[in-house]
Amino acid sequence: MLNNKNILITGGTGSFGKKCTEMLLNRYKPNKIIIYSRDELKQYEMAQVFSTDKYPCMRYFIGDVRDKERLNRAFRGVDCVIHAAALKQVPAAEYNPLEAVKTNINGACNVIDAAIDQNVKRVIALSTDKAANPINLYGATKLCSDKLFIAGNAYVGRDHSRFSVVRYGNVVGSRGSVIPFFMKKKTEGVLPITDPRMTRFWITLEQGVEFVLKCLDVMVGGELFVPKIPSMNIMDLAKAIAPECRTEIVGIRPGEKLHEIMIPMDEARNAVEFDDYYVIKPQFNFFQRRFNCADKAGPLADGFEYHSGTNPWRLTTEELLKMIDELNIV
C-alpha cells in the first residue's frame, strides 16, 4: 500500500517519527519519506542515521505545523500524512496553555486545510488516552484535535482527502515516561509513587507504529482507532523494575488521573469491536456508506468502558522486563 508513495510525517524527528521511518524503510519501497519538523538539530542527527546518500527517498523539511503556508508547500505531491507533531508534556501545557493550543489545535486545522488544498489522499493523526474525558489541557487540546480531524471528512466534501485518528496509551520507554524515570531512581534505593492504585495502558513504540500503519491501510476516513493493549498497576511496575527498592507515596500530580480511559462509556455506544482493536464511529451519514465492515465487527455491550483499571488484559512482570530489555533502557 505504501510502495512508490510519498509519505510525510509531521513531528518526524520524535520517537514515533524515527521508529516509523525505520519500519517504512525496512518494509516498503516508498518514493519519498518527508520528515517535517521545526528542530534543525534533531533533523541533522536523524539524517546521520537515515542519510539521503544511503536512503535516496529521504527528505528533511524544516517547518512548524503552525505555519500553514509552509505546510502547503511541504504537502505538494504527498499521498499520505502521519500527523505526530504535538506539544505533549502535561506540566508544560498547563504552564504555557496558548502554546499548546497553537500547536495541537491550530496546527491540526492547518494540517487539515493543507491536506485538502494539496489533495493528500490519507491523513492519520496520533492521539492519546488523555484525550478521553480529559482533565488537563494537553488532553483537552488533543480531544479538540481528534474532533477536527474526524470532522475534516465532512469538511472536505466530495474531494478525495480522508482523515482518521489513532488513540493509544503510554509508550514503554518514551522520553519523560515513568519507566526510564524508575530505572534512574532505583540507584537511589527509593521509588516515588504517586498513588498505589494507579494504572496505565502500555504499548511499545514498535507496536504503536505497527498499529498506525495498519490503520493507514484499512481506514476509510472518519474512524477513531483504539488498539487492544495491556494495563499495569504502578506498584507492579515498580516491583518489576526495582524489587529491591522501597517505595514512597508522593501524591497525584496536577492534571493526572488514577486510571486512564480510551473509550468512555458515552463513546462506547458508537464503537464496534474487531479482534485486536476497536473503532469509534463518527456521527456522520457519509461514514455509514463507507464503513462496510459490519460483518467483521460487533457492537460493544451496554455500559462498556475501556478503562485501564478494569482492563482484563494485564501486563505481566516477565512481559514488561522483556520490553525493557529489548529497548535497552538503562
3-class SS at 193?
strand
100, 87 Cβ separation under 8 angstroms: yes
Sign for the CA dihedral angle at 305, 311, 313, 319 comes to positive
**Catalytic residue, candidates 5, 42, 88, 130:** 130
Q: Which residues pair with 261 in a beta bridge?
A: 307
Task: For residue 234, give the H/E element and its range.
Answer: helix 234-241
The Cα 101–Cα 106 span in angstroms is 6
Extended strands (E) in 80-206: 80-83, 122-126, 162-166, 170-171, 190-193, 199-203
Report the number of secondary-structure helices (H) and strands (E) in the chain.
13, 17
Kindly give, in sequence order, each residue whose CB lies less than 8 Å from that of residue 302, ignoring residues fewer than 6 positions away: none
CA dihedral 274, 277, 283, 288 (to 10 degrees): -40
190, 184 Cβ separation under 8 angstroms: no
Q: Residue 188 has what DSSP assignment? A: G
130 included as an active-site residue: yes
Kindly give, in sequence order, each residue whose CB lies less than 8 Å from that of residue 29, ignoring residues fewer than 6 positions away: 3, 4
With cell 533533523, the residue in question is 43
Within 10 Å of residue 179's Cβ, how many Cβ atoms?
Answer: 20
CA–centroid distance for 288 within its chain = 25
62, 84 Cβ separation under 8 angstroms: no
Task: For residue 32, give the H/E element and its range.
Answer: strand 32-37
What residues are annotated to the active site? 130
